[in-house]
Amino acid sequence: MPRYFLNLRDRDGLHLDPDGDEFGGLDDLRDEVMIGVKQIVANALVSGSTLSDALDRSFEIIDEAGETVLTVPFSEGVATNTKR
């Protein structure tokens, strides 16, 4: 299975995912990322972050070759329907 690296961009810069994770393909990756975004935003809000701060992030996802395959702003992630 292909390995992807979910780098997180926020106001402090780009935080690299050193290990990555294996996904069955881009559709599986996208579904998991959208679910993860919702969980991260929910946790941030519960912890006292403002909605603006919680949404002011994105995942920049690269493949094993270092190519960007997907960028997901958190504002898009929370607005997307997911299977779960």
b/e map of 43-70 (b: 16 or more CB within 10 Å)?
A: ebeeeeeeeeebbebbbbbbbeeeeeee
Label residue 26 exposed, middle or buried (CB < 10 Å: 0-12, 13-18, 19+): middle
Helix, strand, or coil (residue 45): helix
Q: pTM of the predicted model, to two decimals?
A: 0.87
Q: Give per-residue pLDDT as tens, 19-31.
A: 999 999 999 999 9
Q: Give per-residue pLDDT as tens, 41-61.
A: 999 999 999 999 999 999 999
> Domain spans of the chain?
3-79
